[in-house]
Amino acid sequence: HGVDAWLQETAQPDRPNVIGRVSGGPGPTLMLNAHLDTVGVGGMDDPFTPRIDAGRIHGRGAVDTKGGLAALMAATVRAAAAVDGTVLFTGVADEEHGSVGSEAVAVEFTADA
């Protein structure tokens, strides 16, 4: 699809970021960012068992940014055919604890928007 993709190491072992980039020549860089993780399990009763209430699933990470991540990845792929500039997708790790994923992105990448 014209998207270069790779894992970016962070300060947290085994918690890489997922990076995707579409380059369409000179022009501005747009960064699309969302986090990949969910809240930790500390203090939760049975954190890996979802509960259904009134037809809705409730549980750790049942919603979070899954839809947003899918939309941003699709937008990055679609941009491959139409972009003047660069679209940078950054799926960052560790948003719920120390934001080491966001820190790694901030060190390595810049964007105009």
Active site residue 95: yes
d(CA 65, CA 93): 12
- The closest alpha carbon to 17, from 84, 86, 94, 101, belongs to 101
The residue annotated as part of the active site, out of 37, 64, 96, 103, is: 37
Catalytic-labelled residue, pool 14, 53, 95, 112: 95
Catalytic annotation present for 96: no
- Beta bridge partners of residue 93, listed in sequence order: none
Active-site residue list: 37, 95
